[in-house]
Structure 1
Amino acid sequence: MASLEVVRSELADSHKDTRLNLQGVLEGGSLTAEQRWGVAVACAFAARNERLKEAMLNEAKKALANPEPVIEDARAAASLMAMNNVYYRFRHMIGKESYSTKRAGLRMNRLAQVLTNKVDFELVCLAVSAINGCEMCMQSHEKVVLDGGLSEDQVHDAVRIASVIHAAAVGLES
């Protein structure tokens, strides 16, 4: 069972900044514990590194009084964004009006079954979209979370976590 400390120790000296940042971004900041660990777990799923995913799941279970809804929403957000980010990034990058008028036809029923709350789920989706590099999705989710009452500081902290989780996955693989 991997812990965050074990994973951090596995990062080579060439990844010292990532090792330090991995600790720093998961402490304090403007996010609630549920937001922080929802983002971290979903981003670990999106980064596709088994050790990092296991460590984030273990840490979330230790840090949260009721981790299961947060973890299940994180899992759902990572999966939905894996699909949507590819589709909408394609539409945006191709830039043809003909594609933007076509119905996506992609099921997203899980959005109506969020276990935590809609705004936090959207924040998690924003962080995963940052990893996946979908401009349209990032803009859409950022608007929803700000309109839902979260702050730019919270958006910023979520994306900082996403960036460090992604860097840690790269560091562990290199």
Structure 2
Amino acid sequence: MEIVESGVKFGPFEEIDIFQIEKVTNFVPDAKAVEFIWIRDHISSMIFVEAKSSFSKPESTDDFAMNLKDIYQKFTDSLLILLSTHCNRNPNVADCLPEKFRNINWSSMNIHFRLVIPNFKSEWLQPISDALRMQCKHILGAFKINKLNISILNKEMAIKQGLIIEDENV
């Protein structure tokens, strides 16, 4: 399966490995979700993926802070919605979950967060990574997630990580 978002094509993925949480329409009011969550069995990882066609640079203080807050909310809301569903607290989402996501072994799963901004230059990514890691500090600590598991990627980096397809016809 492939997912087209923000001018790039994500994939290819096995359908059983993907939960398009953003397409769920009946979950928690006011919650925001990432585009999708990808389980990579061979490395026991769950990757929360958000895509943006643009993002403010740190010099645009107010816009940058607002963009960070939006990504932070999508990452944390998605994680909490998935976890609450696993705890049988969210039956509306449970009905939409692929089987693999219903049987997650949370104690052994590595949790990663990826923000893909396809057209950004590599040198623009580190300040966003640093700021987002700082904003997510309490979630990282609570779930024992390494801060390096939050990455901001451009198109080239996302291709190397197997997230997107090198395809100019999107």
Is the pair's TM-score, using the shorter chain for normalization, greater than 0.5?
no
Between structures 1 and 2, the one with greater strand share: 2
Between structures 1 and 2, the one with greater helix share: 1
Please give the TM-score of this superposition, normalised by the length of structure 2.
Answer: 0.28
Greater RCO, 1 or 2 (C-alpha within 8 Å, sep 6+): 1
